[in-house]
Amino acid sequence: MKSYLAAALQMTSKPDLEHNLNEAEELIDLAVRQGAELVGLPENFSFLGEDSAKIAHAEEIAAQSEKFLKTMAQRYQITLLGGGFPVPVGDGKVCNTALLVDANGKELARYLKVHLFDVNVPDGNTYRESNTVQAGTEYPPVYHSPQLGSLGLSVCYDVRFPELYRHLSKQGAEVLFIPAAFTAFTGKDHWHVLLQGRAIENTCYAIAPAQTGNHYGIRHTHGHASIIDPWGVILADAGEETGVAIAEINPDRLQQVRRQMPSLEHRVWG
């Protein structure tokens, strides 16, 4: 693993596939021009709209999203994470799928979101992800890159389930991807706290691409795409506008923290 720059992109995706992919490309270009070699897009990067529209267009969204990720990774010679897009699985449902691809456009890892967001939020929004999404049944993978380190995948609501990240750390993860479309109401109180918790307890970097602003109707997301170091320090925060959070992933810092706080070696259970 070498030192390198990583970027967590922040978008305001709409119920418009073409618009979203254009915005994503502009942000990827911005990140690469700043030197990023590892780039993450948020959950729902290619489409964020009503469930009925998502299901009606799921085949097109899935095909265009995967093609886009592979094309962008090759064009910009980066490793790229698509933090979540719908892939049809039949019976009117999709899997919320995160996909990691390399600079040759090769798929490195794929994860089907396990924890589905079925919550009544006090701001008036009701979320029933399980109405249209089939939950994954397997732990997320860790991709071991000689250059970029060991990259563990997750998606949004997963961040509230520390056992998933403990699994990733046991599999050798050094960098945790946490792409999200975090609600504005919960994000103001929980977003950074949860990211820092997952980074600290696993002594890993956390890269958290995010959605921000108003997407349709009363659907608002929190923003603050972030990169967190293994001590829990917020290295970069994109604020509330679309843009890029960029920071160095440094193996020396990772090892320093793990020497200072060797909690992974002190585990009694799990």
Question: Is it the case that residue 18 has pLDDT exceeding 90?
Answer: yes
Query: What does the block give as tokens for 8?
Result: 């967590």
Please tell me the predicted confidence (pLDDT) of residue 30: 98
Q: Is the pLDDT of residue 28 over 90?
A: yes
| pLDDT tens digit sequence for 151-175 | 999 999 999 999 999 999 999 999 9
Q: What is the pTM of this model?
A: 0.97
**CA distances in angstroms from 36 to 30, 174, 237, listed in the order given:** 9, 18, 15
Question: Rounded to whole angstroms, what are the CA distances from 107 to 31, 67, 98, 128, 170?
Answer: 21, 11, 11, 30, 23
Per-residue pLDDT, 269: 83
pLDDT class of 77 with cuts at 50, 70, 90: very high
Task: Dump pLDDT digits (tens) for 205-262.
Answer: 999 999 999 999 888 999 999 999 999 999 999 999 999 999 999 999 999 999 999 9
The torsion of the CA quartet 22, 24, 27, 29, rounded to 10 degrees, works out to -70
Domain total of the chain: 1
d(CA 53, CA 262): 48
Buried residues in 131-155 as b, exposed as e (16+ CB within 10 A)? ebbbebeebbbbbbbeebbbbbbbb
Q: Name the phi and psi angles at 131, rounded to 5.
A: -65, -35
Q: What percent of the chain has pLDDT over 90?
A: 95
Q: What is the CATH number of the domain that holds 85?
A: 3.60.110.10
Query: In sequence order, what E strands does the chain have?
Result: 4-11, 36-41, 79-90, 93-101, 107-112, 118-120, 126-128, 142-145, 149-152, 175-177, 205-208, 210-216, 219-222, 226-228, 234-237, 243-249
Catalytic residues: 43, 113, 156
Residue-range definition of the domain harbouring residue 193:
4-266
pLDDT mean across residues, the chain: 97
Which pLDDT belongs to residue 102?
A: 98
